[in-house]
Structure 1
Amino acid sequence: MNSIELKSRAKINLSIDVLGKRKDGYHLVEMIMQTIDLYDIIKIKELGTEDIVIKSDSSDIPLDKENIVYKAINLLKNKFKINKGVEVFIQKNIPIAAGMAGGSSNAAAVLVGLNKLWKLNLSEIELQKIGFKLGADVPFCICGGAVLASGVGEELTYIKGLHKDISILVCKPDLFVSTRDVYGGLDLESIQNRPNNKLLIDCLNREDINIVASNMVNVLETVTSKYHKEINEIEKIMIENKALGSMMSGSGPTVFGLFENKEQALRGKEKLLEKYSQVYVVNSNEKGVEIDGEFK
């Protein structure tokens, strides 16, 4: 019986701008996304039946057809008329509902894994087109690295990302934030401070981390931080502990800080652990999904 194990990586945003809204309700964005080396483990094994079975070490995610992983498997089974069943075990390390694309990353890993397991021979671009039907972040999670994403998040331009020596301190407060509510609370006409993505990309190319860190802007943060004071509190602790810059990722509530020095990041982590339990020091990574210890 065939089986496969994958790493499914989280992302942070170095910028988010919201440019408008389509008639179908989707928002038009322009944002920089970066994969980080914080990952879930996805174990897939074929079953002797046609069932889809989802298991996890986390009690905070659905294990039925509501799970995006279930939807990803179902999508491939229906599209390619596959009558095999699979069991997927999700070992969660990425904080849940955190603005870090954890669910999208899991779906991406399952698409990549089943492409290999079922010998579908789909290209990365073909997988991304399928992934987009599951969510706007899934195509990026398939490839990983660093991108400028536009459209509703599916138009990806690959760019140079954060240098691997940069330490990234990540803190997810114990809050639930609704992405739909955050976008719904954004007044597009009153956005004062927007990111300069051209400047950020130029500075990433030059490895000028100081200018990158001091020019990160997430327009969604104005909405989330209005209701959750923890966002600004975490940023303040990171800056006090020598972060070059700190910002909320996605629609929140996760906050990250960029550090030139790992020791300073670890000191910041120690300080944050006095109040928050989900705190990590990680680095950037060039890939979203890794199969059995090797990149696809």
Structure 2
Amino acid sequence: MTKPPLTLYLAAPRGFCAGVDRAIKIVDLALEKWGAPVYVRHEIVHNKYVVDELRAKGAIFVEELDDCPTDRPVIFSAHGVPKSVPAEAETRNMVYVDATCPLVSKVHIEAERHAARGLQIIMIGHAGHPETLGTMGQLPQGEVLLVETPADVAQLQVRDEGALAYVTQTTLSVDDTADVVTALKSRFPEIEGPHKEDICYATTNRQEAVKALAPKAEALLVVGAPNSSNSKRLVEVGARAGCAYAQLVQRADDIDWRALEGIKTLGITAGASAPEILINEVIDAFKSRFEVTTELVETAQENVDFKVPRVLRTPA
């Protein structure tokens, strides 16, 4: 039987970013240096396949430091942790390695600098997300107020309208954040913003690639985890940019073939914590059903590389 034709638009950049790459490398190097098991507080990155691969090598994932023994190393996830976590690790004389993405650490430092000048911080982010909890946990309670939408800005109760600064979660939608920033500046004209955009280069680049791809494709699949903020934002960006069908899939098994019946054009991208092997798995699933022609939609090239902590660059 002849397979129907399908033009597959592949977004670039897509998949792993430098922060995710570094975090995974940190776990691998820790296992090499100290042997198994190595404990990891929270999923190192939000991707089940990656976590399962590391678990198979000897990483044990836990939610809190209390779940770790004191005689084994512990790694903090790429999303960042509240200040209380490394403080507790030091109190317990634990060996720990911080895998926080350097771009998240930049936001932490910004928040601390603003606070040192007596400014109260407003954070644009998603309630309960590990990165938001980590950033808010850099300062005492009440010093960082959280907003998600322009409507939240209207409800804010601040200490001093003339002494405010804002920071943002690094994995948000650029467009949604712009609306919240506009609301903040409208209500608090003197509010200070970051010197450089907090939303990370990789999040922005992946969203721009989807915007370029969306008008060409009848449907968009984003390979990523349901708890991955940047992956979920890619689905929203695709839908907003004109894709009638935009869905998140973890693996090829999650593809809803009935929803894609009759399509002639498809876009594929991946969140910053999705490995290329899962993207290829999805592409292969389409090649088994369609006569696929692949076109790259590239909007930027990335050559960022973050060094691993010094402790892992020296032998045990």
TM-score by length of 1: 0.26
More helix as a share of residues = 2
TM-score by length of 2: 0.25
More strand as a share of residues = 1
Q: Larger Cα Rg: Structure 1 or Structure 2? A: 2
